[in-house]
Structure 1
Amino acid sequence: MSSSPALARRLGTFDASLIGLGSMIGAGVFAAFTPAAAAAGSGLLIGLLVAAFVAFCNATSSAQLAAAYPTSGGTYVYGRERLGQWPGFLAGWGFVIGKTASAAAMAMTFAAYAAPQGWERPVAIVAVVILTAVNYHGVTRTAGLTRILVMAVLAALAIAVAAVWGGSGPHLGNIAGEGLLAHGLYGILQSGGLLFFAFAGYARIATMGEEVRDPRRTIPRAIGIALGITIVVYAVVSVTVLAALGPDGVAASATPLAAAVDNGTLRWAAPVVRVGAAVASLGALLALIAGLGRTSLAMAREHDLPNWLAAVHARYKVPHRSETVIAVAICVIISVADLRGAIGFSSFGVLLYYLVANVAAFTQPREDRRYPKALQVAGALACVLLVATLPPLSAALGVLMFLVGILYRFVRLKLSAVRD
């Protein structure tokens, strides 16, 4: 491992859990049900259970590994330590590329709710710049702002759900639609893969393993708390939008929770939902920038990214160069891309990232084991299955992304061998 300066351990269980919540209860809860309903109809409820189960398996693997390797980098580090340099690199590459695109999607989602028409891209770029500056000034400030954002989003969701059920909109008969199995097993699994996108934020806790106090205790607890709360919130919201709109209505709306409120008699709550969506997007973007900077730091320490990205700021104790480069990449994507396919593309990279995590956890010795191996086997198989059922274009772009990463590392290793 590199001897570059260590990050400061400043986070406890509460703040670490909030960073995970800020990553998971983000724009996904306001938007992810639309493609899931298009794929599976009311079967998205089963898809949600599939996604939650896969997330649980992956979370236990991440928690077990993070307790044994409490340093920045997440599965990039775990893969290197347990499986070798190439699996670690592929995990890190998938996380950085996939989550950079996901961060751009979060910024664009924020702008879609908050910006005047025609100003979406500039506003999204400004949001990235401001939140990067927050991260730049220290992880405790990141945790502090995340605390405010998470509480605001949970309050907005509570108001929205109460408005839907307190009005005249919901009908329990809408939930089943044509039947939970009407779109078949493939549709259900595809909805699970798409909804998994919204669960993947607990990785942010593991990637910040060098900044939590008592990591062997704090990281597993924080991951469990964040994931448990998120599962409950997503279950309540999914039932609410299905009851208000039915499966076809959810699939047809880009903002299903806002549409569910508009469909009832308490329409005064609709602006609250839109503000909540904007705030949720900011919270997810904030945590994404933090996690991406730390995984890039870990990869730079091992020379899988340029070594100058491994710098830690002398005063603020954050990977300032990595975060700055990531912010620039996010802004470039915002300038040239749109939201189409972003969820599927991100899910492809993140599911393969967790495939490496499950395999790495499976190889841990008994003294480091906290969960049965069966969970790691189930998690690995489920990651492969969900990747195989993602939309074809997203899968093709994902394969291309990994081929670029493999070529990059192969060339770097060849150049290093020539210099030596």
Structure 2
Amino acid sequence: MKSKDNKMSFIEVDADCDFSFQNLPYGVFSTANNPKHRIGVAIGKEILDLSVITSLFVGPVMSRHQDVFDQPTLNAFMALGYEAWKETRRTLQALLSVNNSTLRDDVSLRTRAFVHQSDATMHLPADIGDYTDFYSSRDHATNVGTMFRGKENALMPNWLRLPVGYHGRASSVVVSGTPIRRPRGQMRPDQTKPPVFGPSKQLDIELEMAFFVGGENHLGEPIPIHKAHEHIFGMVLMNDWSARDIQAWEYVPLGPFLGKNFGTTISPWVVPMEALLPFVEPNPIQDPEPLPYLQHQDAYTFNINLFVSLKGKDMASAVNICSSNFRYMYWTMKQQLAHHTVNGCNVRPGDLLASGTISGPVTVKGTDPGLVLDPAREPSSQLCNLEQIYQNWMEDFTHSLFL
């Protein structure tokens, strides 16, 4: 989210900076001289350490919960709910405003409260209790279905009726920059021979976004779709690493297991949903019409441009391989959360719900499937230039960058 007005804050924000006054994402960080994990907000090249300014949250809600900003994760803050999140954002924007002297003119407080991002180590923003991955891009589901079942049977009968998803492994969700070890498992590359064991030869990336659940619901009580936005705290980028050869052999009949659970990478900064509201767009037309519990008329689709670059061990610089946009999702986050809980399943603060691979329609110039597996990639895509290096799969010591 690029800066709109550098003069809105007394903190210098470059015009091309993602951490603008309008963004203010939350994260958890530490520094060499203070290894304690603490909550911060990014603006420009700085991090505002909320543990230093807890006493400045004096609104009707947060004045009673200042201690949540002295915690090592965002879970307690997430648990406070929708009104607390909105009040906190208003307070932060007021404190960072060019016209507010509280932080601007207090040299001692300002010195203690701000940390250069280059001096910080980022950590997982929350303790993730549960992780669910959806499959909500119609283009992606169609492309993969065509690959495995043919064009006439590309989408399974349930796909247009409900947000398809599966439960992933929360313990192996890691923050950006954490190395991923190539997984080992059973594969059956030759269908005429028994399976073999070894390292995956078909390691893939998946461009996704995910949202953190905030306020919880009680076991047995669904979250109605008109209230779902009050339980969606904010969004992160996500790479759903996938070992396709392991996955292909194991997934029948219960779905992904070792082909997915070895690692999932998320970005360290959580963009609050209120910061994304200027980018909201009308929801996609859904035909057939979903069942009533999945219907909502308010717009909850977002125009978020996404890019992936790769840098191999022998490459001088990263190369862009695909681009997409979150607006291409068929099922909205409100529908995902409403469906997830309609049977009474309880979700908790810090739970992570992911979009599935974000593919765009191949007729839209400049969009790509968002993963190496997808067969619908345009011949001119830059990945084709890397085919001899990667053989269409991720090699060791390759860096992937999601933007």
Which band: TM-score by shorter chain? under 0.3
Superposition TM-score, scaled by structure 2 size: 0.26
Q: Which has the higher contact order (CA 8 A, sep 6+)?
A: 1
The structure with more strand, counted as a fraction of residues: 2
Highest Rg: 1 or 2? Answer: 2
